Structures are given as structure tokens and as C-alpha cells.
Homo-oligomer: A and B are copies of this chain.
Amino acid sequence: MNLKKLSETLGLSQTTVSRALNGYPEVSEKTRLRVAEAARRHNYRPNTRARSLATGRAMAVGHVIPISTKHEIVNPVFADFIAGAGETYSKAGYDMVLSVVPDADEARAYAEMKAKGNVDGVIVHGPQLDDRRIPLLHEIGLPFVVHGRATGASLPYSWLDVNNRHAFERATSLLLDLGHRRIALLNGLETMDFALRRRAGFEAALRARGLEADPALMRSAEMTENYGHAAAREMLSTRTAPTAFLTSSLLVALGVRRAVEETGSRIGRDVSIVTHDDELSYFRNGDDLPVFTATRSSVREAGRLAARMLLDRIADPALGPQHRLLEAALVIGPSTGPAAR
């Protein structure tokens, strides 16, 4: 069923039918109802392609997922972010188009989206230091919102981020308050901006007490269970083993827990763990009560909000850059306790 047929059935012109459906004022309420009814009955939906060709708006937003050939990792938080963003898009009648490309082609993917005209804007994932995508998107003139921030970017841009620095500063302070002095940081990849900020928060909290971060207790890697296990195991075997761990994800925390338990120590009594928790839907930090003490911030909610920001930008391109800084909650679980003496 298309506009033409529908208008013929109704004995109206395409113009009138179109206006009726799109809420224009110059059509009487009576015909509007008649049209709406017929549209429903025939299950009519305007063809997206034709509509966006006519309007110039694609009614879709893009997400580029780079896959590297080196370490083919699909960011685990990605699924939840997408789910959140998708909710917002659906409600607003927007489509979400994903483009999976080798990371070397990422820049090209954005240019292509613009040239092909199949999206009105994009969300930028996983910003790094001096991220190249920001000037690029400015140049090609595609509205965008960054999930996270890119330290060193000279151009203004819209972003939504968790206050990673503050979160890790608080988490570290908590451990210090509990008497811990040797605290290990198992960070995410420090090519990522968020990891740098977390580290900064960690170091700031130590400095505030006149302590200095021990390089031997700091690691940076892809956030896997194996990484947490290996790093913790190694650190725990030294004479100057840490009494507490601060980890960048639940998965890493799980690895640390395993290593700790292997030594026969008990979590929360002998060794404390604080982790960041993205509240992934399929990987919760406990069902009702938290298992780990954590800095908590829902990445799904971040997706919803970032999508909202982007749609606003698309609706009003003149809008200045917007920023949204989410604070992580600090939830206390049984994985932390006073430092053993």
C-alpha cells in the first residue's frame, strides 16, 4: 500500500492524505480522521526511502563499530549502550544503522555515511586521546555526540560522559579511609580516554594523602577476566603485595577474586576490591545486594541520554555543543573492609 493507492481509495489527493497524516493544519479534522482510519486499516506506512529523499532527512542515526584485526574485541559495554540508545531512537521514530568496519577504515566509514546520506548524525564510541574523529566529523559536517570525552580535542563538541575521575578518586579515598596503603589499579587500556581519567582520579586521591602511586601496582589492558586474574596473581605473590584492588570492570574484578581466593585469602577481610560497574544487563553486580563495592553508572542509561542529545542536535543544528557529566554512585558491598594489619 502506498500513498497513491491510499489516496485513490479515499478519493483524495496525495497532498491531502500526506498532510492529514503528518499533522498539517490545513486539513479538516473530519478528513484527518477518515484518512487516519484508512491508513490504519490498510496498514499503511510511508516508504522511508521516498520520504527521506523528499525531506532530505534520513531519519536514522549511525554507529560505527571498528573491529581491529590485532585484538578483535567488540566492546562488551557496547551491547547495552546500543540497547539504551535504540530505545530512544525507536520512540522518536528513528532507525539505527550500524556499520562494522576494520578500524583502519573508520574515518572512511563516517565520510561514506555522510556521502550516502543514510544517517542524520552519529554517535562516536570509545574516544581516545586527541581523537581524530572529532575534527573529521566537524569537517564533513555530520552532527555527532561523543560517548566519553577526548582530552586534547581543540574543537568544541557535544559529549556525555561519566565522571570517571571523580568516581575513581572517591573509590580510592574509600580504600584509603579503610586504612589501605598499597592499592593496585587494574585499569582499562590507557589509550582510551576514560582509562586515563580513572587513573588521574586514582593518583589524585593518593596525592591528597601525601602518597604516591606505585608503578608496580598499576596495569593497563583490555578488560578481561584473565587479565584480572593474571595481574592479581602476580602482584599478590610479591613481598609487597597490595591489600586492595581497584578494577575497571566487573570482569576484571572477577579475575582478581579468583586470584585472591587461590591464595587462600578472603575478599573483604584480607584483600579488598572496588570495581567500576557499568550495570550491564547480562552481568550484574549481584541481584539485589551488591557483590562488589563499586562505582556504578548505567551504560544503558548513558545510551538513552546520548541518543537524546544527538536527536536534539539533529533537530536544531544551530544548537551549541552540549555536555552532560554523569556521576557514578558508590555502592558498598562485602568486597571491602579495613586493611589487615
Contacts and interface: CB of A to CB of B under 8 A. Distances in A.
Contacts of A76: 76, 79, 280, 282-283
A194 B90 CA distance: 29
B117 A283 contact: no
A110 to B, nearest CB: 12
A341 interface: no
Contact of A95 (B44, B74, B97, B287): B97
Can you tell how many copies of this chain the complex includes? 2
Contact of A74 (B65, B79, B115, B258): B79
Nearest to A226: B287
A283 to B, nearest CB: 7
A45 interface: yes
A282 B225 CA distance: 9
A284 interface: yes
Interface stretch (A27-35, A98-106, A127-135, A209-217): A98-106
Interface stretch (A49-57, A142-150, A152-160, A269-277): A49-57
Interface of A: 1, 43-50, 52-53, 58, 60, 65, 67, 72-76, 78-80, 82-83, 85-87, 89-90, 95-101, 111-112, 115-118, 222-226, 251, 254, 257-258, 261-262, 280-284, 286-287, 291, 300
